[in-house]
Chains A and B, each alone.
Chain A
Amino acid sequence: AQSVTQLDSQVPVFEEAPVELRCNYSSSVSVYLFWYVQYPNQGLQLLLKYLSGSTLVKGINGFEAEFNKSQTSFHLRKPSVHISDTAEYFCAVRNNNAGNMLTFGGGTRLMVKP
């Protein structure tokens, strides 16, 4: 069974600093990869996704992620964070041989401090 590991449960960072949220997955076949953001008491919103093609994917709110097949990683980055980026971030993987089910990581809480 595939799994998704978000290596950091919490990431504190100062406003305007860069941030990287790490995501590693286990799968021996090709995958689709997703990052979602969840603000307090809300549902999850799609930030970006990798299906194929360029390994650098740009999403909403200035976020980007890089797919690294050899390291089975899909880390999320932002060069300069804002207070409003404080939220929970979830990485998810769809195994292309397993229908349309997603496997989610445990989440990373990004805390942006002034």
Chain B
Amino acid sequence: DGGITQSPKYLFRKEGQNVTLSCEQNLNHDAMYWYRQDPGQGLRLIYYSQIVNDFQKGDIAEGYSVSREKKESFPLTVTSAQKNPTAFYLCASSIGQGQAGYTFGSGTRLTVV
């Protein structure tokens, strides 16, 4: 079955460390997105990519970086510059002109220890 896979499901980071969250899709979707979710704050867009080798900042890109070297993969790095990284991170993908909406991964919960 096609889908979008995020790994790991749980991730612990020490202060000052960079960590990378994986997002892989086998849906042949062109666009991919990263969202951050905090309690009571809904979804906030971090980065998105409409095509390979191109990506755009979302509303809260500071302290994060991404790459899009392959259509299937859109990893997110949470850098030490992100002062409050503890959150639930969601990856999504979409195709064409958006009639199908987004397909979401199951999320990664990042905790700073």
Q: How far is the CA of A42 from the CA of B6 in the complex (A)?
A: 11
Query: How far does the Cβ of B38 sit from chain A's closest Cβ, in whole Å?
Result: 11
A43 touches B107 (CB 8 A): yes
* Chain B residues within an 8 Å CB radius of A101: 48, 98
B31 contacts the other chain (CB 8 A): yes
A102 touches B101 (CB 8 A): yes
Q: How far is the CA of A53 from the CA of B96 in the complex (A)?
A: 20
**0/1 interface trace, chain A 87-109, chain B, CB 8 Å (1 if under):** 00010101000011110111100
B102 touches A102 (CB 8 A): yes
B2 contacts the other chain (CB 8 A): no
Q: How far is the CA of A46 from the CA of B63 in the complex (A)?
A: 30
* Chain A residues within an 8 Å CB radius of B107: 41-43
A63 contacts the other chain (CB 8 A): no
Number of residue pairs spanning A and B whose beta carbons lie under 8 angstroms apart: 58
Q: A43-B107, A45-B104 are in contact. Are A106 and B41 (CB under 8 A)?
A: yes
Interface residues on A, range: 20 to 34
A100 touches B104 (CB 8 A): no
B11 contacts the other chain (CB 8 A): no
**Of the candidates A46, A51, A100, A107, which one forms a contact with B42 in the assembled complex, judged by CB atoms under 8 Å apart?**
A107
Query: How far does the Cβ of A87 sit from chain B's closest Cβ, in whole Å?
Result: 14
**0/1 interface trace, chain B 57-79, chain A, CB 8 Å (1 if under):** 00000000000000000000000
B residues near A (Cβ < 8 Å) are 6, 31, 40-43, 48, 50, 88, 90, 92, 94-107, 109
What would 21 A/B residue contacts be, using CB atoms closer than 8 Å?
Answer: A32-B99, A34-B101, A36-B101, A41-B88, A43-B104, A44-B104, A45-B104, A46-B103, A49-B101, A94-B98, A94-B101, A99-B97, A99-B98, A100-B50, A100-B95, A102-B98, A102-B101, A104-B43, A105-B42, A106-B41, A107-B42
